[in-house]
Structure 1
Amino acid sequence: MQTRTLGNNGPQVSALGLGCMGMSDFYGDRDDAESIATIHHALERGLSLLDTADMYGPHTNEELVGKAIKGRRGQAFVATKFGIMRDPVNPQARGINGRPEYVRAACEGSLKRLGIETIDLYYQHRVDPNVPIEETVGAMAELVQTGKVRHLGLSEASAATLERASKVHPIAALQSEFSLWTRDPESNGVLDACHRLGISLVAYSPLGRGFLTGAIRSPDDFEADDYRRSSPRFQGENFARNLALVDRVKALAADKGCSPAQLALAWVLAQGKDVLAIPGTKRRSRLDENLGALDVALSKDELAAIDAVFPPEAVAGARYAAASMTHING
C-alpha cells in the first residue's frame, strides 16, 4: 500500500482510503454483511483510511464502521465528520451547526457509535456561516487537548477559511469533491492554499459518484431511492453530454491497459503528494479494482492527454442541487 503524510509532519495513511457513506445511505439498498466484509478486506489490503460522518444514515454508518473495526482498531485510521444536521422527521431537510457546544456533543455521539476512545481525524462537514470559524475550530482544538481527537479537518471550506482556521490550530486535511469532472479546488484557490499551508486535500467522490467508472449508461441504472436521480449532472441533456466525456476516458483507459476507474483515481493521486482519494464502495470486487489504480503511473504526456479530452469546463450541470451548493466553499 502506498502511503502519504497527512498534513505537516502528520501520520502516514493509505493514499487511497475507503468512503463508507454509500454502505448505509444515498446509493440504494444496503447490505451490512458485504459492507463489513469490504471494510475488513480493505484493512487486510493495507488500506487504513476509513471515512464516515454522523449524518450518513443518519448515525447508522458510524455504527456500521464501529462494528467493522471492533478488534481491528490498530489497522484503521478513522475519519468522521460533524456539522450537517438532518431532521429525524424529514431526513431530506438539512441544517448546519458549528457552535462550540454542538461540536462537543457531536464528538461524544460519534465516539459512542464508533466504539472508540479517540477519533483519528475529525472534520467540520460544512462551515457554519453564522459561527466564526475561529470559534468552531477552537472547540475542535479542545477535543485534541482532551485526547478525544487526534487531528482536525474541514470539508468544502474556502481558501480564506482555511487561512483563518490554521491560525487557531493546525488543520491536517481539507476534504473536497475533486475528480476529473469536479476541478473546483484548482479554480477556487483551495488546492493552492492546501499546498501553501501544509494541508492534505482528501478528494471525495473521485470517481464522479460512480459515473467515471463507465458502468452507468442511463439514469435508469440507478435504484429508485438513489439520490443521483435528482442530481443535475445525471439528468437529461447533462447526462448525455457527460456520458460522452466518460467515453473518452474509457478510450484512454483502454490504451493504458487499465479500467476507467483506475485511470480516474490515478489522475487524482497525480495532482500532488499531498492529495489523497477516498472512493466509496460497498463491494469487495470494486475495492480491488480501485486499489489497482496504485499501479497506474501517468506520465506528463498522458496527464496532458487526459486534460485535453476532459477539460474542467466541459462538465454539464452543477454537482449538487441549488440548496446544497449554498454551503460549498464556505
Structure 2
Amino acid sequence: MRQVKLGSWGPDVSEVCFGSLAISPLQGRVTEAEGVSVLRYALEQGVDWIDTAEIYDNYGQIAQALKGYPNVRIVSKSYSVSAEEMRLSLDKARIALDRDTLDFFLLHEQESAFTLQGHARAWEELLRAKERGIVRWIGISTHAVAGVRAGALLPGLDVIHPILNYQGLGIIDGTLSEMLEAVSFASGLGIGIYAMKVFGGGHLANDPEKALAFVRRTPGVQGIALGMSSREEVDYNLLLLAGKDVPQELQEKVMHRKRKLYIADWCQGCGLCLEACPQGALSIEDNVSVVNAEACVLCGYCGRVCPHFCLKIV
C-alpha cells in the first residue's frame, strides 16, 4: 500500500482512506458484523486510516474492527455549531472509539465563509481541543468550492476533505475547474487534502480507472476516501490502484452485483431529481423523495442533479 504525507505537517498514511459510510447503519448495505469483517479485511491489506462521522452512527462498529490495530488513524466529523455541542461530539467520539486522543476531527459539510462563521464557536472549541492534545489534526469536509477556499484560511486548520471527481458531480456552487483551483490554493498553503466521491456516488463506476487516475494526478491531493462494503470491493479497488489486472470474475462480482437507488434521510425534497428522472420513478412524499423501484432503471440522472448528494446507486 503506497504511503503519502497528508499536507506539510500531517501524518504519513496509506493513499486509501476507508470510507465507512458504506458499512454504516446510515446506508444499510450490510449488517454491523459484515461491516466489521470488511473493515478488518481492508486493514489487513494495509489501509491504515478510516473516515467516519457522528451522523454515520458507527463508532461502535469501528471500535470492534480496530481491536488489534491501535495505530490505525480515524477521521470523524460533526455538525456542531456551539462550543458545548463540539465538546459533546468530541466526548462521544472518544468514549465510543475508546481513545483518549482523536486523530482527526472535522466540521462536517461546510459550504462557505458564512457557514464557517455560523460554526465559529465550534471551531474555536476544536482549536482548544487541539491545544490540549484531545485532537491532533482539525479541518473541514465540504462539497463546495467556497468551502475549500474559506477553510484554507481558517487559523489552525490542518486538513480539508473536498468532493472531487472528473465530472465535477456533487459540487454545489461552482465548476470542476474552480474546485481544482481551490484545492491547489489550499494545498499550496501546506494543508492536507483527501478527496471524497471520486466515483461520483457510483455514477462514474463504469470507468473506475479513469475516475481514480483523475484524482491521483490532481496536484495537491494526497489521499482518497473510498467507500467499500465487501471484500471484493476492497480487492477490486486496491488492484486498480496498484495498476494490476483485475480478474474477470472479480470484475463481474463488483460491477454487476444487484444495485438499488438509495435516498439519504437528509433529503430536503427540493424536487430537482423528479425533473431529471426520465422514467417518472420518483415522487415527493412527506417532503422527501421516494422511489418506485419497479420503474427505476438505475440510470443515475437523479443523482447528478441533487445538490446535497442524497441519491446514490448502491
TM-score by length of 2: 0.69
Of stretches 9-18 and 195-204 in structure 1, the one that deviates more from structure 2 is 195-204
- DSSP 3-state at the match of 1:153: strand
The reply to whether residue 213 of structure 1 matches residue 205 of structure 2 is: yes
Counterparts of 1:80 and 1:270, CA distance in 2: 26
Structure 1 residue 273: Cα displacement = 5.0
Structure 2 unmatched ranges of 5 or more: 245-299, 310-314
Structure 1 residue 319: Cα displacement = 4.6
Alignment of 1:241-280 (within 5 A): 260-280=207-227
Equivalent pair of 1:159/1:193 in contact (CA under 8 Å): no
Summarize the Cα distance change of 1:162–1:286 in structure 2 as closer, same or farther, 3 Å threshold.
closer
Equivalent pair of 2:35/2:229 in contact (CA under 8 Å): yes
The residue that corresponds to 2:97 in the other structure is 114
Count of matched residue pairs: 245
User: 1:292 is aligned with what amino acid?
Assistant: L
The residue that corresponds to 1:139 in the other structure is 125
Structure 1 residue 32: Cα displacement = 2.3
Structure 1 residue 136: Cα displacement = 3.0
Partner deviation per Cα, 1:77-106 (whole Å, 9 max, x = no partner): 1101111xxxxxxxxxxxxx4212111111
Structure 1 residue 14: Cα displacement = 0.8
- DSSP 3-state at the match of 1:293: helix
Indicate the structure whose relative CO is greater, using CA pairs within 8 Å and at least 6 residues apart. Answer: 1
Structure 1 residue 19: Cα displacement = 0.3
Counterparts of 1:148 and 1:63, CA distance in 2: 19
Structure 1 residue 131: Cα displacement = 4.2
Structure 1 residue 162: Cα displacement = 5.2
- DSSP 3-state at the match of 2:133: coil
User: 1:149 is aligned with what amino acid?
Assistant: V
- DSSP 3-state at the match of 1:279: strand
Counterparts of 1:161 and 1:38, CA distance in 2: 32
Partner deviation per Cα, 1:21-51 (whole Å, 9 max, x = no partner): 1212344442222321221122122111201
Equivalent pair of 2:159/2:192 in contact (CA under 8 Å): yes
- DSSP 3-state at the match of 1:107: helix
Equivalent pair of 1:2/1:294 in contact (CA under 8 Å): no
CA RMSD, Structure 1 to Structure 2 (Å): 2.7
The residue that corresponds to 1:290 in the other structure is 237
Summarize the Cα distance change of 1:180–1:141 in structure 2 as closer, same or farther, 3 Å threshold.
same
User: 2:240 is aligned with what amino acid?
Assistant: A
User: 2:223 is aligned with what amino acid?
Assistant: L
TM-score by length of 1: 0.66
User: 2:102 is aligned with what amino acid?
Assistant: I
Partner deviation per Cα, 1:146-202 (whole Å, 9 max, x = no partner): 221110110117566556655553322211221123264632442132222222222
- DSSP 3-state at the match of 1:64: helix
In the alignment, which of 152, 163, 175 is matched to residue 161 of structure 2?
A: 175
Structure 1 unmatched ranges of 5 or more: 84-96, 215-259, 298-314, 326-330
The residue that corresponds to 1:77 in the other structure is 73
More helix by percentage: 1
Counterparts of 1:21 and 1:318, CA distance in 2: 17
- DSSP 3-state at the match of 1:129: helix
- DSSP 3-state at the match of 2:223: strand
Equivalent pair of 1:138/1:169 in contact (CA under 8 Å): no
In the alignment, which of 80, 84, 106 is matched to residue 123 of structure 1?
A: 106
